[in-house]
Amino acid sequence: MAMMMGNSGRGRRGRRRPMADINVTPLVDVMLVLLVVFMITAPMLATGVAVTLPKTAAEQLKQENERPLVVTVDKDAKVYVGMEKEPIPLKELAPMLMALAENNLEKRVYVRGDEAVPYGAVVSVLALLQRAGFKNAGLPVDANAAARILEQGG
């Protein structure tokens, strides 16, 4: 009499059935790596041209659902629109902004000026926006520095 051992009645010896479970560990590992990569790179992509904003005690503007147009004046007085890496001439600024705003003159426009840029360069951009008919222009500042200035009583 032959006895079957360790086979629990499956028939052939040493043969196992394929496992039907999905191993999600590699998927989770890949997703966590992608999450970390995007968390690190997203702020770098969202700033456009790097400028040092002036530090002042100013009240924060209310957040809006609609993204504003951003015009940046760097320390060399070159003008950039949005995330563009190439400067544009001032004569092309108004038509480009009108096209981006889809002729909506109520659209908010932020003029980011480096703290080292001459005052006249930022004022000329603001004057150009006014002549083009834009009604909502703002000058963003470094909010963290503004809080520190208020704490110091400056």
Q: What is the pLDDT of residue 80?
A: 92
- H or E, element range at 38: helix 25-45
Q: What is the mean pLDDT of residues 34-53?
A: 75
Alpha carbons within 13 angstroms on the beta-carbon side of residue 120 total 0
CA 50 vs CA 4, 58, 83, 115: distances in Å: 76, 21, 10, 12
The angle at the Cα of 87, spanning 83 to 91, to the nearest 5 degrees, equals: 115
State phi, psi for 44 to the nearest 5 degrees. Answer: -70, -35
Please report, rounded to a whole number, the percentage of residues in the chain having pLDDT higher than 90.
11
Q: What is the mean pLDDT of residues 65-72?
A: 83
For residue range 54-67, what is the model confidence (pLDDT) as tens digits? 666 656 556 666 78
For residue range 101-144, what is the model confidence (pLDDT) as tens digits? 888 888 888 898 888 888 888 989 999 998 888 888 888 877 66
49-53, 79-83, 140-144: which is most confident: 79-83
SS3 135: coil
How does residue 5 score in pLDDT terms, banded at 50, 70 and 90?
A: low
Domains of the chain: 69-152 (3.30.420.270)
- H or E, element range at 130: helix 119-132
Strand partners, 8: none
Classify the C-alpha dihedral 136-142-144-148 as positive or negative. Answer: negative
pTM as predicted: 0.56
